[in-house]
Amino acid sequence: MRYYASAPGKVILAGEHAVVYGYPALVAALNLRSTACVETVESREIEVISDRWGRALFPLEGSREEHELFPVALVARKLLSESRAALGLRIMLSSEIPAGAGLGSSASTFVATASALCAALGLEPDLGGIREAAMEGERRVHWNPSGVDVEVALNGGVLLYRRGQAPERALLSSPLRLVLGFSGVPKRTGDMVKVVAEFSKQSPEIFSVCMESIAGIATRLAHSLPRGDLEESGWLMNVNHLLLTILGLSTAQLDGMVAACLSSGALGAKLTGGGGGGCIVCLSRPGEEERVSEAIRGRGGEPLVAEVSLEGVKTWREG
């Protein structure tokens, strides 16, 4: 029997980085997913095969910590030890989400993996257990993760998320399409989180003004988007981008793509996720996505039109 699960990637609409410090972030699941397929095997090892990172074998304890796929093995080890099963595992991974783009590819992979593993090992697939196991992987990849990526991969939809609290769902009145622009520069979120930690030490007063302002933006956007007020929503995203720039998270290329999107008629644009590379997210009037995509291309970025998806993690089995 093969056990499958898939989970969505995400885009942060407002509040990245501030969410690490306990402020709210508004995050949306995308119709781009990662999928995990799990089989139990006799040999007492964890084999991980990924369309992106190749194949690796991990023992049930210790070693190979530097390998890109090691965090997946950590998720598997946690659930194997909970199940007390004397088994090995084969985990096959694929993803539609670009890596290092700030679109939640790692969290969606960990959530899908944890979910498929719970099914394969006969563990009760409750969201809390899947969340805990997925965070094992996230903590390895990111430095001090807020948990926002894992939460939206579990639940789907648009969430106002605050660290350690149950997320509030924002219900959109109509489907929402967003234009993403990938700079082509992958970045490590943990390094960018450290940039902000350094800023907070150097300039604590400016840091706290930025944090309070970003929190206000995320909360207000959680009302303006469901109301369908695209003008106000776009403006809030623009202000959020400026605040992230003050914190040292933007780059000339990200700023260039944001400016080009706004000149092409977009209502709002900002860097999304860790910054320092990765992606921008852009809000445009319905039907204007192609014009905005062209503006991103003109600045050397890769555009991607994605839809907000209501579907969180889902599991199935075959064979």
- Give catalytic residues, as residue numbers: 149
User: Rounded to whole angstroms, how far apart are CA atoms 220 and 233?
Assistant: 8
Q: Which is closer to ligand PMV, CB of 145 or CB of 156?
A: 145
- 19 part of the interface to ligand PMV, by CB under 6 A: yes
Quick one: which of 6, 8, 17, 154 contacts ligand PMV (CB under 6 A)? 17
Question: Which range in 17-25, 44-52, 111-119, 152-160 contacts ligand PMV by CB under 6 A?
Answer: 17-25
CB of 275 to ligand PMV, least distance (A): 7
User: Rounded to whole angstroms, how far apart are CA atoms 40 and 120?
Assistant: 7
Residue 167 structure tokens: 């997320």
- 88 part of the interface to ligand PMV, by CB under 6 A: no
- 217 part of the interface to ligand PMV, by CB under 6 A: no
CB of 180 to ligand PMV, least distance (A): 12
Question: Which range in 13-21, 67-75, 222-230, 309-317 contacts ligand PMV by CB under 6 A?
Answer: 13-21
CB of 172 to ligand PMV, least distance (A): 21
- 136 part of the interface to ligand PMV, by CB under 6 A: no
- Backbone torsion region of residue 217, taken as left when φ is above 0, otherwise alpha when ψ lies between -120 and 50, otherwise beta: alpha
Q: Which residues of 6-36 are buried (b: 16+ CB within 10 A; e: fewer)?
A: bbbbbbbbbbbbbbbbebbbbbbbbbbbbbb
Residue 264 structure tokens: 């092409």
Is residue 2 within 8 Å of residue 61, measured between CB atoms?
no
Q: Which residues of 226-235 are buried (b: 16+ CB within 10 A; e: fewer)?
A: beeebebbbb
Per CB under 6 A, contacts with ligand PMV among 34-73 are none
Please name which of 130, 134, 109, 110 lies closest in space to residue 121, comparing C-alpha atoms. 130
- 32 part of the interface to ligand PMV, by CB under 6 A: no
- 24 part of the interface to ligand PMV, by CB under 6 A: no
Per CB under 6 A, contacts with ligand PMV among 248-307 are 273-274, 278
Place of tokens 């040292």: 248
Per CB under 6 A, contacts with ligand PMV among 98-117 are 102, 104
The residues, any chain, with a CB within 8 Å of residue 242's CB and separated by 6 or more, are none
Residues of this chain that bind ligand PMV (CB under 6 A): 12, 16-17, 19-20, 102, 104, 142, 145-146, 148-149, 189, 193, 273-274, 278
